[in-house]
Structure 1
Amino acid sequence: MIAAAKLIDLLPALALLGMALTGLENAPTALAVPQSREHHRHLAARLADNVAQQDKKRSAGAKRTLRRRSDGTICKAKNTASSTFTDVSSTASATASATASAADLQVAAVDTDSSSVADVSFTDSVSSTQAASSTASSNSAQSTDVTGSLATVSTGSTTKFGLAWPNGDWATSTSPDYVGNYVGTKTSWYYTWSPFSVGSADQLNVEFVPMYWGLKQQSDWWAQQSNWPSTVKNALFFNEPNQSGQCDISAGDAVQYWMNDYLPLRSSKGVRLGGAATTNAPSGLQWVQDFKTACVQYGNSEADCTSDFVPIHWYDVTIDGFKSYVESFHDGVGQNLWVTEYACQNFNGGAQCTDQEIWNLHTEMAAWFDQQDYVERYSPFGVMKDMQGVEQYNALMNPDGSITSLGAWYAANS
């Protein structure tokens, strides 16, 4: 009896214990700590989602997110040269030469020396506002009083000067880096190292020249053609195919992309086709010549293998050397030229150009280009906040986005 009574007293406790055990048995296994394999799978899925989202953003508005990088989508600064001629080129690409890495466009303001000479003034054709008299040494850090006046210019002219523009279409008309501030009476065209145009420049009737930078722009090249403005009359092929870190492709391998992706523009849209823009290393001219030879050897007609003009790049330190290079390249190809990147810059370890030498080279070469019938177009490097290793006094844009004295001179006088 005593044992039975004790058992009866324990029944409530046993019932509670049974309920607890039942709860543990039914506990959700999802509360278990995830194994590393599942954790990695989760991270991979999230990364894939992020990549897809970024790809949609790029496809929907890439012309607003232009960057100068080395991944093939936009040009970047390249390493130092190793040739008789300075083997460099810029960015976007960007394609600024030399030692700079593929960073976003940001740079500190450059100190100026107000003691230099070469005062230059100009009169804007719209507002007749005279820019501030400036020295060559201040042309990279001093903004001239032209913001807003140049922006009202609508150009359909056939002048040779154009903008190498890696800055996208972010800026509004009130911003110092608004493209309209760089469009003067002499600005007739622009390119972006890509197939993406700049809507604000198109609204000013500036001719857009699309570029098929390299293989990684292949899908964008096709996708953007329906978005091109009616101003498109010319196009540019691969960017520095003879240079490691840029397009970097052999002449023979480039033929298929010319025939399949590029040549159709000539027949379908009546667009004039520029060849590949090579550096001023000796391999540049050789690449252009090898390309045509390989193209014909592969069974294509000479007409299909021949560009309508040949773009070139040049970075070095003397005016005479620049003229000599342009003349010799013209003799080598026997075709009209576009000079789509150039600056007074030494990448061979020697002395850099002074601010005065930079000013003299730009102003004298622009006048010389205008006198050469076989030089159809030219665009100096560069209209950007960060010159990516190139001497800042070559800049047409200040680090704050405002136009430099050199930039204002080009827009109004070149």
Structure 2
Amino acid sequence: MRSTTAIAVLATATLALADVVSLDSSKRGLCYVKGENAADDAIWDNANGTLTWYYNYQAQPTNGIDDRLQFVPMLWGTNRQNSGFYKTVKGLIDGGRKIEYVLGFNEPDGCSNGGSCINPQVAASTWRTEIEPLKELGVRLGAPAVTGSPQGFTWLEDFFAACDGGCTADFIPVHWYGNFEGLASHMGQVNASYPNQTMWITEFGLPQQSAAATTEFFNQSLSYFDRTPFVTHYSWFGAFRADVSNVGPNSALLTSKGQLTNMGASYVGLTEAEAAKASSASSTATRAGWSLFVIAAMFWTLA
């Protein structure tokens, strides 16, 4: 059991730099959010990058994301669109894809901003039929990823109570949006509540803040995750362009033109030259697609 005070003390000793620090980590993954520019996906596939895994809030992998990145399926909610999760994942395994982990429900305690809004009892029932049987296939199961609010803790307690021992979680996913001190304290509380579990930080960020504050939080958080043994995976929420970011332009890993930001280049483990090359390839593909569209439109007009 780790006290939150000790966590906070460690927090003050982490990096607090204005510039992005280059950090390599096999823990690092991609929280993939589908955008309008499919060419951007090529950036995440760069062979020299440090990303090792990704999830996309769905049960099926994303076309265009290289198989080099380990795919982690998620059962987002309990509605009709999310039915058949066990069958889908088993089909992926039977088809030869390595599925080592799955993620449970996405912010089931929240009913807005991407939350799946699920009653704990309904979630427990769905888990037993759609997620728990995957254990027999050798898949490690991630608990529901609740919000970082106090209601998240309450929901997760109610969920495990409703499971009555029938839900086996191998790790605890964590979401956090706020400053680093709050993140470290929250992680300490999660670790104290579930001391025998490893932790995945599957969404984190500092929304709507200045570039300097966001960069400092980014550096502190990644450094802390990389040297914390009970954190095995993490994914920054920002794999999209700045102009469509719902957490502020400074949290995005791509500029509005689809180029890697300094933070983005650091996150995927690319040098300045490699980042420019990856961004150039994405921009070229986008321009090529637009040119084909214009040519097709001209032919349609003349027809």
C-alpha contact (below 8 Å) 2:254/2:264 kept by paired residues: yes
Q: Does 1:370 align with 2:226?
A: yes
Report whether the alignment pairs 1:253 with 2:117: no
Q: Within the alignment, does 1:187 sit opposite 2:48 as a pair? A: no
Mapping 1:63-82, distance limit 5 Å: none
Letter in 1 for 2:104: F
**1:137 corresponds to which residue?**
none
Matched with 1:144 is: none
* TM-fit CA distance, 1:196: 1.8
Counterpart secondary structure, 1:412: coil
CA distance in 1, matches of 2:118, 2:251: 29
1:30-49 alignment, distance < 5 Å: none
Q: 1:176 to 1:259 in 2, by over 3 A?
A: closer
Where does residue 50 of structure 1 map in the other structure? none
User: Gapped runs of 5+ residues in structure 2?
Assistant: 1-16, 271-303
The reply to whether residue 402 of structure 1 matches residue 266 of structure 2 is: no
In structure 2, relative to structure 1, the CA distance for the partners of 1:183 and 1:379 (3 Å cut) is farther
Of 181-190 and 319-328, deviating more is 181-190
**Equivalent pair of 2:145/2:174 in contact (CA under 8 Å):** yes
2:161 and 2:44 mapped to 1: Cα distance? Answer: 42
Residue in 2 that maps onto 1:306: 168
Question: Cα distance 1:253–1:220, how it changes in 2: closer, same or farther (>3 A)?
Answer: closer
Distance change >3 Å, CA 182–CA 257, structure 1 → 2: farther
Deviation at 1:168, TM superposition (A): 7.2
* CA 324–120 in structure 1, closer or farther in 2 if over 3 Å, else same: closer
Structure 1 segments of 4+ aligned residues over 4 angstroms from their partners:
119-123, 181-184
SS of aligned partner of 1:305: coil
Question: Cα distance, 1:118 vs. partner?
Answer: 3.8
Contact 2:35 2:240 in 1 (8 A): no
Counterpart of 2:85? 221
- What pairs up with 1:259-278 in 2 under 5 angstroms? 259-267=128-136, 269-278=137-146
RMSD over aligned CA atoms reads 2.6
Q: CA deviation at 1:337?
A: 1.1
C-alpha distance 410-256 of structure 1, shift in aligned 2 (>3 A): same
Structure 1 residues 327, 265: CA separation in 2 closer, same or farther (over 3 Å shift)?
Answer: same
Which residue is equivalent to 2:181? 320
Q: In the alignment, is the contact (CA less than 8 A) between 1:169 and 1:200 conserved in 2?
A: no
Give the match for residue 206 of structure 2: 344
What is the TM-score when the length of structure 2 is the normalising length? Answer: 0.73
Once residues 84 and 238 of structure 2 are traced to their aligned partners in structure 1, the CA distance between those partners, rounded to angstroms, is: 24
SS of residue matched to 1:314: strand
What is the SS of the residue equivalent to 1:289? Answer: helix
1:295 is aligned to 163
Partner of 1:382: 238
The letter for the 2-side match of 1:274 is G
- State the structure with more CA Rg: 1
